[in-house]
Structures are given as structure tokens and as C-alpha cells.
Chains A and B, each alone.
Chain A
Amino acid sequence: MFKYLMLAGLALFLPGLYALGYSIFEGPSAWMVDSRTFWGTPISLFVFWIGLAHAGTLLSAIFLALDIKLDRRTALIAELSTLVCLVFAALFPLMHLGVIENFYMVVPLLDARGNFANVSSPLVWDFCCIAVYALLSLLFFTTHLKTREIPTLEKYRKPMAWLLFPLVLWVHTVVSLDFAATFVPQWRGAFFPVYFIAGAIFSGLALMNLLLCTEGYRVRLLERLQLIFSWFMCAIWIWDLMLKGSICTSALIFAGVLPQLRMVSFIRENKWGRIALSLSVLLGLFLERLYIVSPEFGLQTSSSLNWIDWGLVAFSVGGFILLFFGIRRYLNMKMEGSSAYFGEVDGNDLADAEQQELEKENVDVRGIEKPKKGFYIQPWASEEYHVLRFPLLVGFGVAIAYAFWMVGQSVFANVDFSFANIVPLLYPIIALVTALTLFVRAYFVEHAFTLSRFEKWTCAVLLVLLAACAGAFFAGGASQGSNLSLDSQPVAVDRPVSQDHARLIWNARCATCHGAEGKFNEKFVREFYPVPQKLDLQRLDSLGSDSLVKVILNGRVNMNAYAGRLTPSEALGLVNYMRSLAKEGE
């Protein structure tokens, strides 16, 4: 079964790979872009896949945290699907940027040139949340896999689940802020965080039910939740319709109306019926993402999907099938055999298994009976303190220290900055530091588990790679100008162009980032990652005209080089125009 699915995945993946290569080579003009939002298919796919990535944490971590029973096989499948979805979710924002070499600017660290990521931009929050979510999900999955060999690891799963529970919600909330913090009228919605989270959980449930069908069993609890979430989504869409007067009809039909067929027992009890219902939800929610990202989609012929868009869809779907079932086959020996699993969480066949679980709950992993109620434990010596409170305290400490360090960076003299800008970064930092403290303590202090030589080498290689990435981010990307010969000698300028000519060039070339009045384009500052320089009179005077002309022609840091597109006279005209704008602003 898995082999055929992998072949089907390969058939979708290979042509999709061609579309991916072409779109990276060609840039954003390759795919359908909405003329108002400037966003297109990569962002739709990003939101879609990051939503699906919630399946793992929802089903495994949240259920574990809330003591809702879920069998090991289902939980492992859910956790694996999260990891694979995250791989594809992380690819698309990179493509959308169009300047992959400047990716390092989304990391909220100071770089070698003294630049600092723009923490006003949700893109920076996205990077932090998704990176931490991916790392902790991998740790959670690995711990779960290892619990069979090392049962003492079991006690670390629940603290991890309580860390991942808020994190998974945090990730999609931040994704929703990519939209809610912008100027596009269709995206204005203070309810977007809840809306996106509900949609993500709904799509994650549909994916899980689909994957369970391929495994040959079902979990009724998940099917029920899928139906309940369809009602909740319909209620949210009704509110969206009241607010904005429009609704994505196809999403309503596929993800709102058709899932109600689950109430028909003939469809519910049929495997293909359940597959069709899950696929219908996934299709509906993909169309909804497309509608949110590109409101013009389907309204104008210019906004229809081309072969690149379909190729990117095929790439992600095929890639997911290939990677998920490939890893699933590889890990088959680690997961439970078909004779041992118990698929029906709410069925009668669970009675024995539940009884065993209850008995197991009364005895901890070391075989010592739990203390009865009223038994006094020293607070600093309790198990709870060691596995949860102490790591959490370290996490809070690091997050507070980071906040103080960040506020002290001089770059924030350039932009309005408030506590609200750094709040979204704080929890991922807390979660990351807490989880690392938990496992470092478990390994070095408690000796709760050991690593084989291969695993030690893998950890060492990963650490070196991480350090290399941090070094690369710190060093930054290439920023030299396109024409170095201009730098070695003074720029020959006869006379600057007229003020009117300079104003036209400014509005065409520069206002996108620096604003029509030289006071930043707020849209740019909110949606993109670098912080543009403040062009006040004092700064312009200190740099001098010749130096500014060179910056315009040769580029600097994130400023593009305009030599070849502008003449030196036009650049000098722009410098004079900047001065006039700065004087007006004084």
C-alpha cells in the first residue's frame, strides 16, 4: 500500500520539482500574484501546510496534556505528519521572499554590520515560532519513539506536551498576524488569530483521518471532532460575511456543507466515504487559503492559476506523500505491528487496555508507588519541580534577559517600537530554552537516558551545523554593489536633474520603502524584514552628497544598487530631493 502511495507521490513530485526550480529562477513573476495584496500561491501553500502541521501537536501533545487517551500508533503518525508538513511549509515563504540570499535578516540577532531584524514585522515572528516549533516537535517525536527502549523518557513527554500546547497555538496565531497586521482591507480582522487556529485544527484533523484510512483503521473521536469543527468554521465564516460582505463559496461547500454527510451512516461506515469527506475538507480549506491570500482569485481572468501554481501544488502534495510514507516505511519496525495496535479509542475492545493503563498510572516508571494524597514533598525536591518548574524558570529568565538586550539596541531609534512588537517572540524563546534545559538536565544530571555512539555523532554534527548557521546569519549575505568600478573613483556628475524629475523618480523607485514623504512606507516596515534607514536632515548632512550618490548607485546592506537603472545626475537629483523632504519634515 505504502509503495503505491509513494509511486503516486513521485508522479506528482517530479513535475512539481520542475515548477519549483523554474519559479525560483524566475522569481515572483512566475506564479499568480494578486494585484492588490502582491501575495500569491506560495503564501497560500505556506498557510495551508502550516495548518496541517497542527495535526501532530493537536492530537499527540494536547491530548496527552489533557489526559485524553490516544494510542501510540496514531500519536506517532500525527507527530510524523507534523514534521513532514513543516518541511514544505518552511519552503514557501523563502520562495515568496524573492531574495533568498537576504533570508538571514529574519533572524532576530544582531549581525556583523550592526543591523538588527525588524521585530515589528510578523515575518521575524514567523521564523522564530516555526523554527522552535519544528525543533521541539522533532524532540517530542524522537522521545516518543525512544520510550520503548528507554521507559524513563516517558516522564518527560508530558512536560513537553504542556510546552507544545501553547506553542502550536502561538505558531498559527503569528501566521494570522502576517495578515491582520497589514493594510489590506480584506485581512483586517482582530479575530484572525482564532479563525486561523480553528481552520488549522480542522485541516489537521482531516489530514489525520485521511492518513488513518491509509493505515486501515479509524479513530472515531477524531472523526467526531472533524464534524464539530466544521460547524465552528461555518459560524466563523458567517461572522466574516457579516463584517466584510463576502464569503468563499467553494470553501463553504467543500469544508462546511459536504462534511455534514458524515451524519449519513452509509457514508460514515464506508472507508471510501471517509476518505472523500477528508479530501473534501482539505480541498475546501486550500481554496479558502487561496481566497484569503489572493482575494481577486477567481474574480478576474488575470488572477487565475497558471501551470507554475499547479506545479507548486503538485510539488508539495507529492513531496508530502513521498516523504511521509518513505519515513513511515523506514520507521515501520519502530512503530507497533498491526497485531498490537488498538485503533478504536472509544470502542469496547479497549476495556482491557484501559484497565492496564489505569494500573500503570498508579505506579510510576521506576516501579515505586505514587505517594498518597496528603504526603508532603519538599517543593525544591519534587519531581514536578525538576521536570517542569526549574526548566520553565530558566526559560522565563532567558526570555526576560533577551527582551532587555533587544530593547537596548540602537537600531530601534529608527522605528516606533513597543512591547507589543516583542511579545510574539517571547514564548518561543521560553519554550526552546525550557525544553533544552529539561533534556540537558535529564542527560547530564539525572542520567535518565544514554546515547549510542552514532547518536552522539549525529548530535555533534547537528550542533556544528547550528553554529555554522548562526555564524552565517551573523556574517550576513553579500551586499557589495553591482558595479565596483564606480566605488574606486569619484562619481562624475555634471548637474542634477530637476526637482520635478527627481520627485517622479523618487515616487517610482524609492517610495516603496522610504515612503512618499521620506518617513518610511509603513506597509514595508510591517510586512518585510529590514528596517530602512531614517532619512533626517542630520543624517543626510553627515553622509554628504557624494557618499549618498554612491549608496544609490552601488547599493548598501539591503538597499538595492541602481547603477544602470539611474544615471549619476538622477542620483544626485534624488539626494537633493531627499534633503528637501527632510527639511519639510523638520
Chain B
Amino acid sequence: MAPFLNALACLIALGSALFLWRKGSSPYRNGALLAGFLVLFSVFCYFGGDINDPTLEHYPFRMLALCLCLSTTSLPLYRRRYLVLAQSLWCWIELFGGISLYYRGIDIAWTRIAALLCMTLCSTFLSKISKEMEFCLMVFWLAVWVFF
């Protein structure tokens, strides 16, 4: 995908994250939003990239994982736990998507996986997540998305 569209994907994920886990929202609302976002990300990939490019196969799911990571910063409770879980999910999608692509001759994005893994492990030590830390985490995730 072109760098501009890749950056746009990042912004779309960021915008979508705003709607998740609002106070008092039901599981139905959050579930429907997640499924709706996945459709939105799929449509974005379909029109924004070359559908024959194998690296796009898991692109909507990577967007969803990024969206989940970003959304955890707005959680009122158990933020560290779900932050670690969301990053693990992203790492998971990257690793096993990468292994699938590796068998078709495409290199695994080890740098991206290593960066995510390091941040996931470091996040387990966060005792309090301040506003500044939230900002740093979001910048880190966006940097991983855009540059790695």
C-alpha cells in the first residue's frame, strides 16, 4: 500500500477507536462497532490497495488490532491488562500472518514484531498510566505502523 494510504489507514483506526468502550455502552454496541469497523477497514483496503498483493491479506485485521490498542487508552478500568492483551493480539496477527506469507516467499516483518513484543513486555510493568504515558504509547504504536 502507498505510504500516504498507509498513514491514512492509521488515522482511520485512530478515529474508529474513539467510538469504542464508551461509558455505559452495551456489549452489543461494542460488538457491532468492531464488526462494522472490520467491514470499513476491508472496504478501505479493497479500494486503497492492490487486492492481489499478499501483504494486504491481513491488513484489515492489523488495522483492527491497532484500533483496539488505541482504544484501550480510554478504558476506565483494567487498562494495563487490556493494553497488554491488545498489543499481544496485534503481535499475534503480525507473527502468524508473517509465517503464512513466509511460506510464499515474503519476508517476515521481524522489526515490527520485535518492537511490539518489547512494548508488550514493558507495558506489563506499567503501574499507573498517566495522560503523558497514554500519549507516548499512542505515538509509539503509530510510529510502528508508519515506519516499521
Q: Which residues of A contact B (CB under 8 A)?
A: 66, 166, 169, 173, 176-177, 180-182, 188-194, 224-225, 227-228, 231-232, 234-236, 238-239, 242-243, 418, 420, 423-424, 526
CA distance A165 to B23 in the complex (A): 27
Cβ–Cβ < 8 Å partners of A181 in chain B: 99-100, 103
- CB-contacts of B108-131 with A (<8 A): 108
Is there an interface contact between A169 and B31, defined as CB atoms closer than 8 Å? no
Scan B10-37; emit 1 where CB is below 8 A from any A CB, else 0.
0000000000000000011001101110
**Residues of B contacting A180 in the complex (Cβ-Cβ under 8 angstroms):** 99-100, 103
Shortest distance between the CB of B50 and any CB in chain A (Å): 12
Task: Known contacts A224-B27, A232-B31, A242-B42; decide if A193 and B104 are in contact (CB<8 Å).
Answer: no
Contact yes or no, B51 A177, CB < 8 A: no
Q: How far is the CA of A446 from the CA of B17 in the complex (A)?
A: 46
Please report which residues of chain B, range 21-65, place their CB below 8 angstroms from some CB of chain A when the two chains form the complex: 27-28, 31-32, 34-36, 38-39, 42-43, 45-46, 51, 54-55, 57-58, 60-61
Contact B60 A239 (CB under 8 A): yes
What residues of A have a CB within 8 angstroms of the CB of B137 in the complex? Answer: none
> With A224-B27, A235-B35, A242-B51 in contact, do A194 and B102 touch (Cβ < 8 Å)?
no
Residues B93 and A420 in contact, CB atoms below 8 Å apart = no
Residues of chain A within 8 A of B55, CB atoms compared? 190
Docked pose: A189 CA to B28 CA in angstroms: 28
Min distance, Cβ B64 to any Cβ of chain A, angstroms: 9
**Given the complex, which residues of A lie within 8 Å of B46, measured CB to CB?**
242
| A420 contacts across to B, CB distance below 8 A | 98-99, 102, 108
Main secondary structure of the interface of B (DSSP, over half): helix
Known: A190-B97, A190-B100. A239 touches B54 (CB 8 A): no
Considering the complex, which residues of chain B in the window 46-104 have a beta carbon less than 8 Å from any beta carbon of chain A? 46, 51, 54-55, 57-58, 60-61, 81, 88, 92-93, 95-104
- Quick check: B42 and A235 within 8 Å, CB to CB? yes
B61 touching A526 by the CB < 8 A rule? no
Please tell me if the beta carbons of B57 and A234 are within 8 angstroms of each other in the complex: no
The answer to whether A188 and B51 touch (CB under 8 A), given A173-B96, A234-B35, A420-B98, is no
Q: Which of A225, A236, A242, A424 contacts B99 (CB 8 A)?
A: A424
Complex Cα–Cα for A194 and B63 (A): 13
In the complex the two chains form, what is the Cα distance from A177 to B34 in whole Å?
A: 25
The answer to whether A191 and B27 touch across the interface, beta carbons within 8 angstroms, is: no
A180 to B81, CA, bound (A): 31
B83 to chain A, nearest CB (A): 14
Once the chains bind, are A228 and B39 in contact (CB under 8 Å)?
no
Size bin of chain B's contact surface = 35 or more
- Known A182-B103, A232-B38; further 10 A-B contacts with Cβ < 8 A: A173-B92, A177-B99, A181-B103, A190-B97, A193-B92, A194-B61, A224-B28, A235-B38, A242-B51, A243-B57
CB pair B95–A423 under 8 Å, yes or no, is yes
Bound-state CA distance A236–B51 (Å) is: 15
Question: How far, in whole Å, are A46 and B104 apart by their CA atoms in the complex?
Answer: 25
CB-based nearest B residue for A245: B51
Docked Cα-Cα span, A514 to B98, in Å, equals 27
Q: Provided the pairs A189-B57, A232-B31 are in contact, do residues A526 and B42 lie with their beta carbons within 8 angstroms?
A: no
Contacts of B36 in A (CB 8 A): 235
Closest B residue by C-beta to A180: B100
User: Is A192 a contact partner of B100 (Cβ separation < 8 A)?
Assistant: yes
A235 contacts B39, C-beta separation under 8 Å? yes
The reply to whether B103 and A193 contact each other, CB–CB distance below 8 Å, is: no
Choice from A194, A224, A228, A232 contacting B58 with Cβ under 8 Å: A194
Give the distance to chain B from A432, nearest Cβ to Cβ, in Å: 20
Q: State how many angstroms separate the Cβ of B102 from the closest Cβ of chain A.
A: 5
Contacts of A526 in B (CB 8 A): 103
B99→A423 contact, CB < 8 A: yes
List chain A residues, Cβ under 8 A from B93. Answer: 193-194
A177→B100 contact, CB < 8 A: yes
CB of B47, distance to nearest CB on chain A (Å):
10
Q: List chain A residues, Cβ under 8 A from B103.
A: 180-182, 526
A227 to B31, CA, bound (A): 9
How close is A238's CB to chain B, nearest CB, in angstroms?
A: 6
A292 to chain B, nearest CB (A): 15
Q: Roughly how many angstroms separate A242 CA and B57 CA in the complex, as a whole number?
A: 10
Q: What is the chain A residue whose CB lies nearest that of B97?
A: A190
Indicate whether A232 sits within 8 Å of B92 (C-beta atoms), given known contacts A188-B54, A191-B57, A420-B99: no
Q: Contacts A173-B96, A181-B99, A193-B100 given; indicate if A228 touches B28 (C-beta within 8 A).
A: yes
In the bound complex, CA of A238 to CA of B45 (Å): 12
Considering the chains assembled together, what is the distance between the CA atoms of A350 and B68 in angstroms?
A: 31
Q: Are B35 and A231 in contact, with the CB atoms below 8 A? A: yes
Most chain A beta-carbon contacts within 10 A, residue among B31, B81, B99, B104: B99
Kindly state the separation between the CA atoms of A418 and B105 in the bound complex, as whole angstroms.
12
